[in-house]
């Protein structure tokens, strides 16, 4: 890589990738709709170029991709807008080809796998999403991998579980941290006494960049956390790290449906409750073998650093 771009740079994954570019001495462009958010996130990076753009527009996406060899696509969308995932990636692929960018790295999720058939899910597991959001994510992945097969653009997909850490200001884990720091009760959607997997965001950034620097193109790769952890155990550790006694309640589908009458984000989250009942725990042994091992921050250390970052914000 000589010059990279992060599409969706102001999100948690984009902000985890940027320090790795700085460490490696790679100039990079950070792309997003809000200059204010980009300035706030990247003003301290010497190698970052701030580039506001609307990635729904081919002209903007092309301008954002011009002059870079590798695009890291980290665009996050709220649940009610998940239908835009395949739309936006189509524009990005077209823009990359238009300006002769060489590589595209898509950061994806566990959604395309659907309900797991095995205790740990490897890349060979069927992708059979039964939810609309899983279908949109699968379509997005298919478009990226098809672009590699068609030639002219090298692509890869990296799938992550739920993540937590500095700058991860959305998601299930973040709700736990916010409630713990504020001394409030966390309302966990679905079953609370079940295994789950979380990945510490800074770990993900370094692994994604390393995979992009290797011959990992033309495939999809899993990168999981340090292992499955019981949700109740995770919540307890977060509250104790915040110096508080755990306060939690499980919120079932019935209550969520009522809340969804007034909140579209909650309404759209209901179809994803299966992940709390049949969790997807990623098998990333393929990536570990390719990279010669994977660093994974322990839950206790990651929780401690996340609490520190929230208190310094």
Strand partners, 159: 108, 222
In the predicted structure, residue 217 carries a pLDDT above the cut 80: yes
Percent of the chain with pLDDT over 90: 88
Condensed to tens digits (0 to 9), the pLDDT of residues 2-35 reads 999 999 999 999 999 999 999 999 999 999 999 9
User: Can you give the pLDDT at residue 264?
Assistant: 84
Q: What angle do CA 73, 38, 177 make, to 5 degrees?
A: 80
Strand partners, 156: 105
User: Can you give the pLDDT at residue 187?
Assistant: 93
3-state secondary structure the chain: CCCEEEECCCCHHHHHHHHHHHHHCCCEEEEECCHHHHHHHHCCCCCEEEEECCCCCHHHHHHHHCCCCEEEECCCCCHHHCCHHHHHHHHHHHHHHHCCCCEEEEEECCHHHCCCCCCCECCCCCCCCCCHHHHHHHHHHHHHHHHHHHCCCEEEEEECCEEECCCCCCCHHHHHHHHHHHCCCEEEECCCCCEECEEEHHHHHHHHHHHHHCCCCCCEEECCCCCCEEHHHHHHHHHHHCCCCCCEEEECHHHHHHHHCCCHHHHHHHHHCHHHHCCCCECCHHHHHHHCCCCCCCHHHHHHHHHHHHHHC
In the predicted structure, residue 260 carries a pLDDT above the cut 80: no
**How confident is residue 169, by pLDDT bands cut at 50, 70 and 90?**
confident
**How confident is residue 171, by pLDDT bands cut at 50, 70 and 90?**
confident
Strand 154-159 relative to strand 103-108, pairing = parallel
**How confident is residue 47, by pLDDT bands cut at 50, 70 and 90?**
very high
User: Can you give the pLDDT at residue 253?
Assistant: 82
User: Can you give the pLDDT at residue 92?
Assistant: 98
User: Can you give the pLDDT at residue 177?
Assistant: 96
Whole-angstrom distance, CA of residue 150 vs CA of residue 204: 28
User: Can you give the pLDDT at residue 262?
Assistant: 82
Condensed to tens digits (0 to 9), the pLDDT of residues 96-145 reads 999 999 999 999 999 999 999 999 999 999 999 999 999 999 999 999 99
User: Can you give the pLDDT at residue 185?
Assistant: 96
Q: For the chain, give the mean pLDDT.
A: 95
User: Can you give the pLDDT at residue 216?
Assistant: 95
As a whole number, mean pLDDT of residues 253-260 equals 83
Backbone torsions φ then ψ of 228, nearest 5 degrees: -70, 145
Report how far Cα 231 is from the mean position of its chain's Cα atoms: 19
Nearest-10 crossing angle of helices 35-42, 12-24: 50
Percent of the chain with pLDDT over 70: 100
User: Can you give the pLDDT at residue 2?
Assistant: 93
As a whole number, mean pLDDT of residues 251-277 equals 87
User: Can you give the pLDDT at residue 139?
Assistant: 98
User: Can you give the pLDDT at residue 215?
Assistant: 87
Condensed to tens digits (0 to 9), the pLDDT of residues 192-215 reads 999 999 999 999 999 999 999 998
User: Can you give the pLDDT at residue 6?
Assistant: 98
CATH architecture of 4-162+198-225+281-295: 3-Layer(aba) Sandwich (3.40)
């Amino acid at each position: 890589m000589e010059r990279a771009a992060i599409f969706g740079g102001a999100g948690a994954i984009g902000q985890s990738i940027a320090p790795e570019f700085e460490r490696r001495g790679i100039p990079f462009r950070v792309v997003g709709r809000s200059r204010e958010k980009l300035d706030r996130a990247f003003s301290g990076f010497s190698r970052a170029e701030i580039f506001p753009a609307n990635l729904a527009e081919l002209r903007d996406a092309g301008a954002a991709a011009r002059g870079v060899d590798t695009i890291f696509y980290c665009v996050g969308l709220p649940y009610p807008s998940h239908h835009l995932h395949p739309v936006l990636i189509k524009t990005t692929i077209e823009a990359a080809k238009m300006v002769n960018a060489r590589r595209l790295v898509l950061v994806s999720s566990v959604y395309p796998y659907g309900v797991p058939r095995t205790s740990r899910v490897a890349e060979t597991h069927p992708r059979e999403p039964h939810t609309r959001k899983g279908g949109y994510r699968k379509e997005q992945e298919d478009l990226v991998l098809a672009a590699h097969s068609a030639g002219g653009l090298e692509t890869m997909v990296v799938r992550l579980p739920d993540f937590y850490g500095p700058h991860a200001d959305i998601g299930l884990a973040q709700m736990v941290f916010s409630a713990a720091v504020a001394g409030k009760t966390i309302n966990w959607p679905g079953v609370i006494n079940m295994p789950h997997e979380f990945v510490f965001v800074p770990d993900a950034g370094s692994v994604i960049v390393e995979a992009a620097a290797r011959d990992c193109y033309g495939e999809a790769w899993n990168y999981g956390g340090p292992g499955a952890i019981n949700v109740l155990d995770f919540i307890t550790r977060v509250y104790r790290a915040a110096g508080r006694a755990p306060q939690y309640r499980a919120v079932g589908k019935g209550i969520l449906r009522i809340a969804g009458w007034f909140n579209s984000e909650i309404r759209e989250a209901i179809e994803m409750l299966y992940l709390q009942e049949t969790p997807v725990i990623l098998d990333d042994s393929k990536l570990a073998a390719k990279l010669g091992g994977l660093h994974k921050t322990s839950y206790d250390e990651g929780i401690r650093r996340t609490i520190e970052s929230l208190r310094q914000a």
